[in-house]
Amino acid sequence: MDNAHEANGIEGVEIERKWRLSCLPPHDILGRGYLRFQGYLIAHEGFEMRIRNTRDGRFVLGMKDEGTIQRHEWERLVDQWAVKELWVLTKERRLVRVQYDVHIPPTPRLSIVTYQEALKPLITMECEFPSQEAAAAFEMPPWISVLYAREVTDDQRYKSKNLALTQKIPED
């Protein structure tokens, strides 16, 4: 959820592609990352409900249906008291990651994620698109291509909920 949507939440369709990277881009491209905590209240085939922090320290409750490149999603801000009550319910279904939001025009905003704890040293990159056509037309920028980017959009093992459930880096 970007800053424009955070005030009221979002409801709609997410169109996103995901890649596994072999290493991080140079620091001058990455900039400063932020620590993201994400816990799953419900995570089964067809549906997920999670709670996570935003880059400005607030928390959102989100729901998504099953899918690969396109999924329905819903997110709303959650009060701090609710976060404390809900977070304990996510035990053993959590992700801790550092997220870097990179935007070098004309490339869309890219989210580069380094996973922590049991999933370290996994690195992924995600990119959201306004349409299926824009997603299909996306060309990897040269500075990412050299990092051995392998697309994992259709690989269910790389879905965040599955990473949280297994706590294992998928073997290729």
Residues annotated as catalytic (active site), given as ranges = 40
Residue 169 and residue 121: Cα distance in Å, rounded?
Answer: 9
Which stretches of 24-141 are DSSP H helices?
27-30, 80-87, 132-137
CA 131 to chain centre: 18
Helix (H) or strand (E) holding 59: strand 59-65
As given in the structure block, the two tokens for residue 41 are 């209240």
List Cβ neighbours of 40 (8 Å cut-off, separation of 6 or more). Answer: 48, 49, 50, 90, 93, 94, 161, 164, 165
For the CA atoms of 164, 73, 55, 83, the dihedral, rounded to the nearest 10 degrees, stands at: -70
Residue 99 and residue 110: Cα distance in Å, rounded?
Answer: 10
